[in-house]
Amino acid sequence: MRIVLLASGSGSLAQAVIDATTAGELKLEILALVSDRDSQALVRASKSGITAKYLPINQDRKAWDTALIDYISTLNPDLVVSVGFMRILAPEFVERFATINTHPALLPNFPGAHGIRDALAAGATKTGSTVHWVDAGIDTGAIIAQKEVDVLPQDDEASLHERIKIVERALIVETLKEFIEKKIPGRK
């Protein structure tokens, strides 16, 4: 399987995929990592010998969407894997490329950019991580896999996020392993 990673931040989820690939746990080829920010994720990709593409969003979002689609098209991946990519992908993108995303909550609960904060504010006793197909909505695509994380009384957003990230890293690797074994995607 040939994949492209999308990441905006520290790249810890991308690193989990890179490490599992390097160790032979995942039989896939990472074609590139694309980031909309000058991020640590780009540094991680470069250090691992993976093409690191910085594609900043300027004032024209439509032009950025087109540039992203054009770039990913040149790579022709089997799957696009969003791992901490903090941008909503254009409908044209998700129609063209099979794309999955990790989300730090148990969807359909707490979609959007503040899933952890929202879970804490709601007084949730459990949250977790979800891997789902990306569609034109915000975290509304079909759920592929989930893992629970208990919310502890002393948790704040940072401590809960750190525990979710541990589960999230394992879940994305497990999901990709299953995709490889079952030869998914055959498209959504």
Going through the chain in order, the beta strands assigned E by DSSP cover 2-6, 29-35, 52-54, 79-82, 99-103, 126-133, 143-150
Indicate which residue of 103, 114, 132, 161 is catalytic: 103
- Decide if 86 contacts 113 (C-beta within 8 A): yes
Whether 103 is catalytic: yes
Task: Enumerate residues 6+ apart whose C-beta is below 8 A from 175.
Answer: 100, 131, 144, 145
Q: Quick one: tokens of 157? A: 């957003």
- Catalytically active residues are 103
